[in-house]
Amino acid sequence: MYEVSEIKEKRILVIPGDTIILDKNTVLDNITYLYKRDENIYTATVTALIDFETIENKKKLRVIPLKGRYIPKEGDIVIGIVVDVTLSSWVIDINSPYLAILHAYDYIGKNFNPTIENIRKYLDVGDVVLAKISQFERSRGVVLSVQDKGLGKINTGSLVEIEPCKVGRVIGKKKSMMNMLIEQTKCEVFVGNNGRILLKCPNLELEYIAILAIKKIENEAHTTGLTERIKEFIIEEKVKRGLIKYEVK
């Protein structure tokens, strides 16, 4: 059991079942990974780090999960892989306990008649799509849409998978980590909410370095000072491979 008023550290580790008792000066960043038992009593539902930051005499509590599957949320942008095809829709793996459905009329943008047209000419098993979760109910499943700008079939690039709960660390505060990755590797980086990351890089060496960096972020997501450390790691890897002649300080 942890009482916030008595905690002196900036960060503590909790496991499922641990009780956290807040005080009047505590502000919760979110309660996604906490179960509310009483007005100020919560139970951790995942293994996570509890991060504390003091702002204007108030303690801000942030939960950083270390493990956890992706649970869909309406409005999320995800990278999915087609795993099955029906007469009028595709079944999409979104790296979640839930499979998703993408309807032909949404993807094609017009009425679709399966008796005269083969749906597989648009998407087939193994194809990758960028989509938005338009509907999600646990009893009815997930429905995807590609109607927004930039969504649809992905034809180029490489995919990297990480723990979905580490997505926020790859993006960073105000996109600081992602912007640094883009600047240092010259890769286009798109991070899906479901833990899949799309890379489009100038060459295979920079792609390899970007993948190494992303996996290092995933493994060290619980540590502080990570952005600068990852930047130094990328520079060292570029020097090692002769992509730059010296380390820029």
Domains defined along the chain, listed by start: 2-65 (2.40.50), 77-154 (2.40.50.140), 158-240 (3.30.1370.10)
- Report how far apart, in Å, the C-alpha atoms of 129 and of each of 106, 118, 122, 164, 205 are: 13, 18, 11, 17, 25
Is the predicted pLDDT of residue 3 greater than 60, yes or no? yes
Is the predicted pLDDT of residue 249 greater than 70, yes or no? no
- Which residues sit opposite 41 in a β-bridge? 21
Give the residue with greater pLDDT, 55 vs 70.
70
pLDDT given for residue 247 in this prediction = 53
Q: How do residues 170-225 score in pLDDT, each as one tens digit?
A: 999 899 999 999 999 999 999 999 999 999 999 999 999 999 999 999 999 878 89
Percent of the chain whose pLDDT exceeds 70: 97
Q: How do residues 104-124 score in pLDDT, each as one tens digit?
A: 999 997 788 888 888 999 999
Mean pLDDT, the chain, integer: 90
Give the residue with greater pLDDT, 30 vs 151.
151
pLDDT given for residue 10 in this prediction = 76
Global confidence as pTM = 0.80
What type of residue sits at position 185?
T
Report yes or no: 14 and 42 within 8 Å, Cβ to Cβ: no
Q: What is the DSSP letter of 37?
A: -
Is the predicted pLDDT of residue 246 greater than 90, yes or no? no
Is the predicted pLDDT of residue 35 greater than 90, yes or no? no
